Every structure is written in C-alpha cells, then in structure tokens.
Amino acid sequence: MPYAREVTSSASRRSRRRVNPWLRLVVPIALVVAATVAIWGPKIGWFDFGGTGPGALDSTSDVGAEPGAEPAVPAAPTATDAAPARPAEAVPVTVDYVHDGDTLFVYPEAPSAERIKVRLLGIDTPEVGDNAECFGAEATDALRALLPEGTTAWAQSDVNPQDKYGRSLLLMWTDDGRFVNNELLRSGAATVLQIDPNRAHTELFRASEESARAAGAGLWSAC
C-alpha cells in the first residue's frame, strides 16, 4: 500500500519537526543567563561562597540513622567546645582591608574577580569613625589580628548570601583554621546578631557570647 506508507512517513516527519515553542524560548535564555553569570558575576560583587542551602550548615542532622530510630538530641554547645572546622565548600579569598570589627574587603581567588565587601555573619561589633562607639577601635584591631591584610582566608555563605546593601554575608576562617566569627565573640569583641534566614551556628555563638560576658572579656568590662 504505497499511499499508506507515504501518509505514515509524512506524519512521522511532521512529528519530528514539531518542537515545543517554550523550548525555543527557554533554552536560549538559560544559555544567556549562564554566560552572564560566568563573565560578569565576579565583576559586580556577586560570588558563590559555597553556601549550601537551608539546613546544610546544621551539624545535628540524622543522616545515616536507623529507620524508625528516635532523632538524636544534641547537647547544647558551650564556649569550650571545639569550633567547627573549615568546611570543604569554603572558598579562598585574599584579605584587602579591614574596615571595622565585622566588615572587611576581600578578593576572591578567581580570574577577573573584583573586590567584595563582606559583612561577617551572626555578629555585631561597635561602630568606628564619625559614629564611634565604645570598643569599636579594639574590635577592629581584633579582626585585623585574625585577618591581616594580604593573607588568605576562607569564606562560606549561609542561606541568604547578600544583604540589601549588596554586602556578602559570610562565615570566615583563618588560613590556619580558626573560626573568625566565633573568635570575635569569645574574646568579647562582638555580640550576637543573627537575622533570618541565616541561622548557622546560633547556639555556639550564643554560648561564646555568654562565656565572654561572664568573664568580663573585651567590651563586657570596658563598656
């Protein structure tokens, strides 16, 4: 039946040519977005600092627990507990300038990356400059001692990587593994300030703050 075969062949060709119009629109857009991020991301102050999404920084998850087992209830951390080691996802940066106790500028170690303004997550330190507050200069010196200009540090974001001012919100570690945010709390150079949805290490930070307060460390006795 030559006619039937011809009809079938024609229908098959039309089927192969029929492409979802959304694919014609979405695929080029996706390629343009990917190229834009790759080329311009580091130039406009955006950078992927290894944030891993909600809950990923929570070390109390029950991965690997037996089915039906009760979830583990971790003990509340104390200031004497070991601070978390630098995560594998942390990104290396070079410290350019420390502005005050919780704000600094860094260069990501990436081609064409420009300077990024960083606000340390989970903490707050006294102001400096025209609105100087008690212990502001000392807190700035404390951060400069931890992260001297020109040294390598390691950074990781939490759920929300930037604030409304365009600053990168980061947890940071020194090159030898000290947890910078927590060190400032332990020494009494900072107080806890955590804003949703970024809640990484909340209990550790509160324990470190309370320990510094009880000992009268830093601003707790000076101010």
Which pLDDT value is given to residue 21?
55
The more confident residue out of 17 and 66 is 17
- C-alpha 184/C-alpha 134 separation (Å) is 15
- Of the candidates 95, 117, 96, 126, the residue with the CA atom closest to the CA atom of residue 47: 117
177 vs 46, residue with greater confidence: 177
pLDDT bracket for residue 113 (50, 70, 90): confident
Grade residue 86 by pLDDT with cuts at 50, 70 and 90: very high
Confidence bin at 193 (pLDDT 50/70/90): very high
Mean pLDDT throughout 159-177?
97
d(Cα 24, Cα 110) in Å, to the nearest integer?
Answer: 33
Alpha carbon 172 to its chain centroid, in Å, reads 8
Please state the pTM of the whole predicted model.
0.69
User: Which pair of tokens denotes residue 57?
Assistant: 């920084």
Residue-level pLDDT at 112: 83
pLDDT at 183: 98
- Residue of 40, 49, 63 whose CA lies nearest to 159: 49
Which domains does the chain carry?
A: 91-222 (2.40.50.90)
Distance separating alpha carbons of residues 7 and 28, to the nearest angstrom: 34
Q: What is the mean pLDDT of residues 51-75?
A: 40
Residue 211, classified by CB atoms within 10 Å of its CB into exposed (0-12), middle (13-18) or buried (19+), is: middle
pLDDT of 28 strictly over 60: no
Of 193, 187, 209, 86, nearest in space to 143 by CA: 187
Number of alpha carbons in the 13 Å side-chain half-sphere of residue 198: 22
State pLDDT tens for residues 205-221: 999 999 999 999 999 99
- Assigned token pair, 157: 């974001």
Question: What was the pLDDT predicted at 83?
Answer: 83
Query: Which residue has better confidence, 161 or 19?
Result: 161
